[in-house]
Amino acid sequence: MTDATVDVLGVLLSGDDDLYGLKIAQTIGRPTGSVAPILRRLEGCNWVTSTWEQSNERTGPRRRFYQLSAEHAADARALVAERRPAPTTPKHTPLRPGWVSGR
Protein backbone atom coordinates (compact mmCIF):
# COMPACT_ATOMS: atom_id res chain seq x y z
CA MET A 1 0.00 0.00 0.00
CA THR A 2 1.59 3.25 -1.14
CA ASP A 3 1.65 6.51 0.81
CA ALA A 4 -0.54 8.06 -1.90
CA THR A 5 -3.16 5.33 -1.41
CA VAL A 6 -3.12 5.92 2.34
CA ASP A 7 -3.58 9.65 1.67
CA VAL A 8 -6.60 8.93 -0.55
CA LEU A 9 -8.11 6.63 2.09
CA GLY A 10 -7.59 9.34 4.71
CA VAL A 11 -9.63 11.80 2.65
CA LEU A 12 -12.34 9.20 2.01
CA LEU A 13 -12.56 8.65 5.78
CA SER A 14 -13.21 12.37 6.34
CA GLY A 15 -16.97 11.89 6.00
CA ASP A 16 -17.29 14.42 3.17
CA ASP A 17 -20.08 13.22 0.86
CA ASP A 18 -18.95 15.48 -1.98
CA LEU A 19 -15.63 13.83 -2.91
CA TYR A 20 -14.63 13.71 -6.55
CA GLY A 21 -11.22 13.06 -8.08
CA LEU A 22 -10.00 16.64 -8.40
CA LYS A 23 -11.15 17.56 -4.90
CA ILE A 24 -9.38 14.51 -3.44
CA ALA A 25 -6.19 15.32 -5.38
CA GLN A 26 -6.23 18.95 -4.22
CA THR A 27 -6.90 17.93 -0.61
CA ILE A 28 -3.85 15.66 -0.46
CA GLY A 29 -1.66 17.78 -2.73
CA ARG A 30 -1.11 15.09 -5.35
CA PRO A 31 -1.66 15.22 -9.12
CA THR A 32 -4.94 13.89 -10.48
CA GLY A 33 -2.91 11.60 -12.72
CA SER A 34 -1.79 9.65 -9.66
CA VAL A 35 -5.09 9.84 -7.74
CA ALA A 36 -7.37 8.56 -10.53
CA PRO A 37 -5.61 5.17 -10.87
CA ILE A 38 -5.69 4.74 -7.08
CA LEU A 39 -9.43 5.38 -7.03
CA ARG A 40 -9.93 2.87 -9.88
CA ARG A 41 -7.89 0.23 -8.03
CA LEU A 42 -9.78 0.82 -4.77
CA GLU A 43 -13.06 0.57 -6.65
CA GLY A 44 -11.90 -2.64 -8.34
CA CYS A 45 -11.19 -4.12 -4.89
CA ASN A 46 -14.63 -2.98 -3.66
CA TRP A 47 -13.11 -0.62 -1.09
CA VAL A 48 -14.68 2.35 -2.89
CA THR A 49 -17.95 2.93 -4.72
CA SER A 50 -18.63 5.73 -7.15
CA THR A 51 -21.54 7.47 -8.81
CA TRP A 52 -21.73 10.01 -11.60
CA GLU A 53 -22.97 13.50 -10.87
CA GLN A 54 -26.65 13.81 -11.78
CA SER A 55 -27.07 17.58 -11.65
CA ASN A 56 -27.10 19.61 -14.87
CA GLU A 57 -26.88 22.93 -13.02
CA ARG A 58 -23.09 23.04 -13.16
CA THR A 59 -21.06 23.81 -16.26
CA GLY A 60 -18.11 21.61 -17.19
CA PRO A 61 -17.67 17.88 -17.27
CA ARG A 62 -19.66 15.64 -14.95
CA ARG A 63 -17.91 14.66 -11.76
CA ARG A 64 -17.62 11.15 -10.40
CA PHE A 65 -18.21 11.04 -6.64
CA TYR A 66 -16.36 8.50 -4.51
CA GLN A 67 -17.28 6.98 -1.18
CA LEU A 68 -15.56 4.41 0.99
CA SER A 69 -17.59 1.19 1.15
CA ALA A 70 -19.08 0.45 4.56
CA GLU A 71 -17.62 -3.06 4.66
CA HIS A 72 -14.04 -1.77 4.29
CA ALA A 73 -14.28 1.42 6.36
CA ALA A 74 -12.87 -0.27 9.49
CA ASP A 75 -9.98 -1.75 7.48
CA ALA A 76 -9.23 1.67 5.98
CA ARG A 77 -9.36 3.34 9.40
CA ALA A 78 -6.94 0.77 10.82
CA LEU A 79 -4.59 1.10 7.86
CA VAL A 80 -4.53 4.90 7.99
CA ALA A 81 -4.02 4.84 11.78
CA GLU A 82 -1.13 2.40 11.37
CA ARG A 83 0.56 4.33 8.57
CA ARG A 84 -0.31 7.84 9.75
CA PRO A 85 -0.24 7.80 13.54
CA ALA A 86 -1.69 10.83 15.26
CA PRO A 87 1.00 13.34 16.18
CA THR A 88 1.95 13.29 19.80
CA THR A 89 1.47 16.40 21.84
CA PRO A 90 4.81 17.84 22.90
CA LYS A 91 5.37 17.86 26.60
CA HIS A 92 5.63 21.39 27.89
CA THR A 93 7.43 22.38 31.00
CA PRO A 94 5.02 24.41 33.11
CA LEU A 95 6.04 28.01 33.57
CA ARG A 96 7.08 29.00 37.02
CA PRO A 97 5.08 31.80 38.60
CA GLY A 98 6.72 35.15 37.96
CA TRP A 99 8.80 33.86 35.05
CA VAL A 100 8.83 36.26 32.12
CA SER A 101 10.34 35.45 28.74
CA GLY A 102 13.40 37.50 27.81
CA ARG A 103 14.46 38.49 31.32
- Tens-digit pLDDT profile for residues 13-28: 998 889 999 999 999 9
The DSSP result for 20-53, as a single string, is BHHHHHHHHT--HHHHHHHHHHHHHTTSEEEEE-
Q: What pLDDT is recorded for position 100?
A: 57
Q: How far apart are CA 7 and CA 24, in angstroms?
A: 9
The pLDDT tens digits for 36-65 are 999 999 999 999 999 999 877 888 888 999
Between the CA atoms of 91, 87, 73 and 26, what dihedral angle is there, to the nearest 10 degrees?
150
Would the pLDDT of 68 be above 80? yes
- Stated pTM of the model: 0.78
- Map out the domains of the chain with their CATH numbers: 3-83 (1.10.10.10)
Q: What is the 3-state secondary structure (H, E, C) of 51-89?
A: EECCCCCCCCCCCEEEEECHHHHHHHHHHHHHHCCCCCC
